[in-house]
Structure formats: structure tokens, C-alpha cells
Homo-oligomer: A and B are copies of this chain.
Amino acid sequence: MGKTTLKKITYHEIMNMEKQERVHFVNSLGGFKSVGLIGTQNSNSQTNLAIVDSIIHIGSNPPLFGMIFRPGVVARHTLENILETGFYTINHIAEKIYKKAHQTSARYDRNCSEFEKTGLTSEYKNNFFAPFVNESNVQLAMEFKEKILLSINNTVLIIGEVKDVYFPENCLQKDGFLDIEKAETITCSGLDSYHKTIQISRLSYAKPDKIITLLI
């Protein structure tokens, strides 16, 4: 695409949008998202599965990830289960299960399991409390660590620590990089757009004295 004049939309125009238009628009603005399926169960063994598109790396030592929950959202049962039991799983989404993953966002009753409703398979292993998604190629066992209220808009940041990681062995590179594209992980944009990826390349560690001979 040649550089053309860009259209401008202001804060006030965003605030004046119809609600669904605003949600679609603003959700598109941050770039492609880290999306996964969050597996939980409550103390009565009622399982829950929710698609969450706000997974964020908080740190590596110890390994921590966060995610955002909005008040009153579909994923509220998931949030309740995490706070009640202290455990959850993060499961990457491959193209072969993206429709089922998306379907978990429907407002099912509390006594419905999205595993049953969508046909995804719950999997328990190594005595971890929360269920994994068997069809997922990359699975994280997570322990709840901290809940932080973001009072600016009453959302909640949930931070958890990685306890175990399951992945296809041939996707792990020697330097520790896990090739999630090879593991078929997809990404999403906005509320409902799903995307495969094509690796452009990995770049070496950037140093300040590098001679800039970069193509534009």
C-alpha cells in the first residue's frame, strides 16, 4: 500500500458511535491479540470454558501472565471459578477449533459447561485441578496470584503464574523460543476476526551500533 492520506476519527466521534460500532472499532485498534481458551471448574466440579482475547505477558522470572475481565461479561463464571479455586488453564486456539472456541463466548447458563456445548474435550492430567482443552496444542497450567481492580473502568486484571506448559516438542527451538505458528496457534482482531500467521522472520538482538542499511 502506498502511503495515502489517512482518515481521522476523534475521541468524540468514537464516544458518539452506536455501542456495537464503538466496541468493534476500539477492539480493532490495539493490533492482533493474544487469544486463548480459559479452562476452569468450580468446587462442585462444574467446568467452564471461555475465550479470552486479552492475555498479556507480565514477566518471565517468575513466568506470569495477565488477562482482563470486564464487569458482567460472559466470562464471569470463569472469573468466579479462578477466584474460588485458584487454578485455571490457558489453551492456545488452532484453526481447526476456532469456531468452537468462538462459540464459548455465548451466554450459557452457569450450570452449562461450554465443553459439552461446543464439543471441545476437557482433559485432566498430572493432578492439576483445572481442565485443559485436549484439542489445544499449547496448554498452560496456571495458578492465580493477584487480582487488581482497574478503577478507571471497573475492569479486573487477573495475574497468574505458569506451573506447567505442554507443547509439541518439535516446536521448541534451541534458544528457548517456542514456534507457536508451527503449533498452529492463531490470533484474532476486533471481536470476531480470526487469523492464521505467516512468519516473516526472526531478527537478532538489536544493538545500538548496528549500521542502518534497512530497507524501507
Q: Name A residues whose Cβ lies closer than 8 Å to a Cβ of B.
A: 1, 3-4, 6-11, 14-15, 17, 19-36, 53-66, 68, 70, 90, 92, 94-100, 102-109, 112, 117-119, 126, 134-135, 137-140, 145-146, 148, 150, 152-153, 155, 157, 159, 161-169, 172-173, 175-181, 183-187, 189-208, 210, 212, 214-216
Identical subunits present: 2
Residues on B with C-beta less than 8 A from A117 are 208, 212
Question: Are A206 and B102 within 8 A (Cβ)?
Answer: yes
Q: What residues on B are CB-neighbors of A53 within 8 Å?
A: 57
- Given A57-B54, A118-B212, check contact A152 B159 (CB 8 Å): yes
Q: Give the CA-CA distance A178 to B188 in the complex, in Å.
A: 12
B106 touching A19, Cβ below 8 Å: no
